[in-house]
Amino acid sequence: MGIIMVDNNIERIGVLTAGGDCPGLNAVIRSVTKTAIVEHGWDVIGIEDGFLGLIEGRTRQLTYDTVSGILSIGGTILGTSNKADPFAFAVEKGGKLIKEDVSQVLIDTCRDLDIDAVITIGGDGTQSIAGRLAERGMNIIGIPKTIDNDLAGTDVTFGFDTAVGIITDALDRIHTTAMSHHRAMVVEVMGRNAGWLALHAGIAGGGDVLLIPEIPFDIEEVCRVVDHRSRHGKRFSIIVVSEGARPAGGTQVVKRIVKDSADPIRLGGIGKVVADGIQERTGIESRVTVLGHLQRGGPPSSRDRVLGTLFGRKAIDLVAQGKFGRLVAEKGGEITSSPLADTIGKQRLVPRDHYLLDTAISVGTSFGVKEL
């Protein structure tokens, strides 16, 4: 594909990273900045700490040199925040924390800085905000980021491949100690409402039981699998649990509430619940490992570096063509785009008829239920 020459009178663009960090963010920032400069000669303004930077007016210019050498670095050079929903921004008044709509502040800041378009790099929360800002007239392009791979409108998000690799490596290491001590080892991974991480890494790491949010589990069935393995020569078991998994008829385990966040619920602890349940019912010694933010850290995989670069280039093409209110996407192996409006309030979950579920079952993996 040749260079997109249409520029729609664009002279300056802004780019921000919002929500949780993940590997590949810098690869996207680099691609956006270099493509904008090399192909169009645009100025690129880096917005610090996500939407918070636009609310507080904290920005800095990005140049070809400032983004050189960041391709392999994890995190984001721009910083990020998951507490800055401009439509529900937490402010303290009269000793009380209230939520205010400050979206007009963002629009005014972009106008004052002569920013013609903004590229938002983030997950479902970020792109839902971007979609609402687009409805208010802002020129916005979204780029899908999240290790959970749960963003509607795209088949895959960057950061997911790296996280799967990190979890798989952890499972390989836990496997050997589980064998040595004849234990049931529970590994809690991220995945609030979507089980893609546990599903992919669980299959890659040889998990014996995979518990995901989409399939409420029966602890008795989990114990039956572990006990059966123990009685038939497999004196250890690996159980991979999404943080959002829950027992049938039960609720997700909430670790804490962050009151000033747009998404205040923080999950965590289901791994311990499962491990305790196994040990109490079977007598098999059980341990839990919570991988937590390890899954988000470190350098991106080669797949995420390439995907991030492709996404950044596509975002600039869309800006040049004046196709705003779009989310860059990969669908069927093709880099394309979908309406940002399609992401608002939606998540991409694991469907019950997904081929990976059948594949896992075919090699003896359990999902903590007798039948799907």
CA distance 38 to 175: 48
Return the sign of the alpha-carbon dihedral for residues 140, 143, 144, 145.
negative
The active-site residue, picked from 85, 148, 304, 317, is 148
CA distance 334 to 344: 23
**Considering only CA atoms, which of 364, 359, 354 is closest in space to residue 209?**
364
**159 and 150 in contact (C-beta within 8 Å)?**
no
CA distance 120 to 40: 19
CA distance 246 to 120: 32
For this structure, is 317 an active site residue? no
> CA 278 → CA 77, 189, 236, 271, 294, distances in Å?
43, 18, 12, 11, 25
Residue 316 structure tokens: 């600039």
CA distance 146 to 264: 18
**347 and 361 in contact (C-beta within 8 Å)?**
no
Burial of residue 144 (CB within 10 Å: 0-12, 13-18, 19+) is: buried
Q: Which residues are catalytic?
A: 148
